Amino acid sequence: MKITDEVIEHIAHLARLEFEGDKKVTIKEDMERIISFIEKLQELDTENVEPLIFMSDEVNVLREDVAVDTLTQEQALSNAPKKDSDYFRIPKVLG
Amino acid sequence: MSEIRDTYEVVIGLEVHAQMLTKSKAYSNDKNEYGSVPNTNVSAVTLGHPGTLPVMNKKTIENAIKLGLALHCDIAENQYFARKNYFYPDLPKGYQITQDLTPICTGGYAIVKDENENEKKIGLTRIHMEEDAGKSIHDIDVKDTLVDLNRAGVPLLEIVTEPDFRSSTEAYNYLTEIRKLVRYLDICDGNMEEGSMRCDANVSVRKIGATEFGTKIEVKNMNSIRNVQRAIEFEITRQIEVLENGGELFMETRQYDALKNITIAMRSKEAANDYRYFPEPDLTPLKVTVNQIDAIKAEMPALPRDLFLRYTNEFKLSEYDAYNLTDNKSIALYYESILKRTKEYKLAANWMMGDIKSYLNSQGKEMEEFPISAEKIADLISIIQEGKISNTVASQKVFPEMLNAPEKSPLAIAESMNLIQDSNEDSILGFIAEVMKQHPEEVTRYKNGEKQLTGFLMGQLMKISKGKADPKSANQMLRNELEK
């Protein structure tokens, strides 16, 4: 399958990545290769085969509704590049 | 304008997000609590740290099933979760765990009144479980956006209707019903001002008779049920105006501004929606059994509509009384508790809607804060019914004293205040003899045909008895004596 510039730009935007010049060409070729692997798999006849979503047979792994304090506010904020005493701080986003 | 408007049909669908009243979050064990210090109700899972795994909260499933049963939905036997992917700073994982292809509830309906007070069914597309995002605060700091992740991971129920509403009034009535229901079920506190219940409206208009729907426009940011109605009204007028002026509508999301009562374009929806849903591999699938559903069904409280129908059909209360008694869960529960001790449905309803309600209103109190127990109110109703005190004495003398001393029984109060009515025939005959002796002239006039004088003579009798003669028997006996 041919990957167009529009597809690359759309996916790059969704991933918040930017590709310019040579890098755009490289990523396009990589994606085409990945897609063709998948196309190979799709040649297989899966009529009447139930889709397999989970690799394990486990169901209903649940927990009781009990609240526990696991992190302090200080710990929670400790890895943030920018913070104040209460909040994570990030560059201004609107809406 | 109204003539032009009459040539259009309005089509509305609503999406409600209800924050669940659980102790912990949907997929992690940090606290679910409103109003805490920012970033204190968080865990490594909520913060989206690498290597952490979500585990589903059992309670959220029970809540979803309860609401689904109350709204006549089908409960899915097999379900799994999905990731909805998007980048936003208040979504640390980069995806929301939600249900996409296998919502826990499908179908179902709510019964809602239209503007002519006729009942209609609003179909439900689905109810599913998901998690809330954190909160971004844009207006505290000039340069930075502040992020509080206390709300991230709070369990939500999303309730999606079919495009079945034909007016903003129907939408208003639906939201009132849903709020009442989640409160009865103890699933959500239904507080739109604090955002624990939120509503997005999809509004479109089309010429009457058109078979295709008009362009759907989503309106957000309404923080009360009344504002949802206002925003829809504004949107209907705006859309019709655009179309009548030869303009075109396109799919978009608009934000409601309550101060100006207008909607403002937020973002165009065409390109934005690409959430790349896929099954959430970190949560096991869910299997709901018929036994589990039956167990939850057995624990469900009586729902407002069931109570309403019982009060109007069985107790013969007016729709107005029945509506007011069932509008608020704690009022309904209190009324039900009174009825455990007395079968005077109407009298009990009168007390609820009369003296008790006026007291609560005048004190600005909620039913939960009412000092007198339902048992004591039932006892009060019983002694009125037994003729020991009149309704007036109960209301004016005994009830105020019960408010002062809620631990005292109404009978003891009536006795200590010397208010017990005298229905003893001999003593009433004594009062009558006294009245006739004091007012011979009126007695003669009565006998000459001025029957309306019974009123005056009864008044005198009550005065002589110091208000304690049982008015019903006294009245009857007075007439008998006068006719002799």
In a domain, A68, yes or no: no
> Minimal Cα–Cα distance from B22 to chain A, Å?
7
In a domain, A20, yes or no: yes
A62 touches chain B (CB under 8 A): yes
Decide if A71 and B42 are in contact by the 8 Å CB cutoff. Answer: yes
Nearest CB neighbour to B55, from listed A63, A91, A94: A63
Pairing label, strands B105-106, B119-131: antiparallel
Decide if A66 and B32 are in contact by the 8 Å CB cutoff. Answer: no
In a domain, B297, yes or no: no
Q: Which among B359, B438, B450, B459 has a CA at the least distance from the CA of B406? A: B359
Question: In whole angstroms, how far apart are CA A2 and each of A14, A38, B235?
Answer: 20, 13, 43
- CATH code of residue A28: 1.10.20
Structure tokens given for B100: 């996409």
A51 touches chain B (CB under 8 A): no
> Minimal Cα–Cα distance from A29 to chain B, Å?
22
For residues B439 and B406, state if they share a domain.
no
Give CA–CA dist B63/B22, Å, rounded. 9
Residue type, B50: P
Please count the structural domains in chain A: 1
In a domain, B396, yes or no: yes
For residues B355 and B229, state if they share a domain.
no
Q: Which residue of A has its CA nearest to B147?
A: A88
For residues B348 and B472, state if they share a domain.
no
Decide if B146 and A88 are in contact by the 8 Å CB cutoff. Answer: yes
- CATH code of residue B453: 1.10.10.410
Quick one: pLDDT at residue B272?
57
Instruction: Select from B224, B255, B290 the last residue of a domain.
Output: B290
Decide if A62 and B55 are in contact by the 8 Å CB cutoff. Answer: yes
Nearest CB neighbour to A14, from listed B39, B274, B287: B274
Q: Using a CB-CB distance cutoff of 8 angstroms, which residues of chain A are in contact with residue B56?
A: 61-63
For residues B309 and B382, state if they share a domain.
yes
Quick one: pLDDT at residue B418?
82
In a domain, A63, yes or no: no
Instruction: Select from B392, B416, B440 the last residue of a domain.
Output: B416
Q: Using a CB-CB distance cutoff of 8 angstroms, which residues of chain B are in contact with residue A50?
A: none
- The domain of B361 spans 302-416
Q: What is the pLDDT along chain B (484 residues), one digit of tens a residue?
A: 578 999 999 999 999 999 999 999 999 999 999 999 999 999 999 999 999 999 999 999 999 999 999 999 999 999 999 999 998 899 999 999 999 999 999 999 999 999 999 999 999 999 999 999 999 999 889 899 999 999 999 999 999 999 999 999 999 999 999 999 999 999 999 999 999 999 999 999 999 999 999 999 999 989 999 999 999 999 999 999 999 999 999 999 999 999 999 999 986 544 556 899 999 999 999 999 999 999 999 999 999 999 999 999 999 999 999 999 999 999 999 999 999 999 999 999 999 999 999 999 999 999 999 999 999 999 999 999 888 888 888 999 999 999 999 999 999 999 888 888 777 778 888 888 889 999 999 889 988 888 888 889 989 888 888 777 888 888 888 888 888 7
Give CA–CA dist A8/A18, Å, rounded. 10
Give CA–CA dist B48/B320, Å, rounded. 51
pLDDT surpasses 50 at A95: no
Q: What percent of chain A has pLDDT over 70?
A: 98
> Which residue pairs from A26-30 have beta carbons closer than 8 angstroms and sit at least 24 positions apart in sequence?
A28/A3
Nearest CB neighbour to A77, from listed B39, B87, B266: B39
- The domain of A35 spans 5-41
In a domain, A93, yes or no: no
Q: Using a CB-CB distance cutoff of 8 angstroms, which residues of chain B are in contact with residue A68?
A: 24, 29-30
Please count the structural domains in chain B: 3
Identify whether the C-beta of residue B143 lies closer than 8 Å to the C-beta of residue B100. no
In a domain, A16, yes or no: yes
Structure tokens given for B262: 């207008």
Decide if B274 and A60 are in contact by the 8 Å CB cutoff. Answer: no
> Minimal Cα–Cα distance from B32 to chain A, Å?
8
> Minimal Cα–Cα distance from A64 to chain B, Å?
6
Q: Which residue of A has its CA nearest to B283?
A: A61
For residues B265 and B351, state if they share a domain.
no
The sign of the torsion formed by the CA atoms of B117, B119, B122, B128 equals positive
In a domain, B295, yes or no: no
Q: Using a CB-CB distance cutoff of 8 angstroms, which residues of chain A are in contact with residue B80?
A: 53-54
Q: Which residue of A has its CA nearest to B276?
A: A14
Instruction: Select from B235, B257, B290 the last residue of a domain.
Output: B290
For residues B459 and B402, state if they share a domain.
no
In a domain, A18, yes or no: yes
Verdict on whether the full-model pTM lies above 0.90: no
For residues B409 and B431, state if they share a domain.
no
Torsion of CA B29, B30, B34, B36, to 10 degrees: 160
In a domain, B20, yes or no: yes
Decide if A54 and B22 are in contact by the 8 Å CB cutoff. Answer: no
> Minimal Cα–Cα distance from A53 to chain B, Å?
7
> Minimal Cα–Cα distance from B284 to chain A, Å?
5
CB pairs under 8 A between A and B: 125
Nearest CB neighbour to A66, from listed B24, B37, B285: B24
The SS3 call for residue B82 is strand
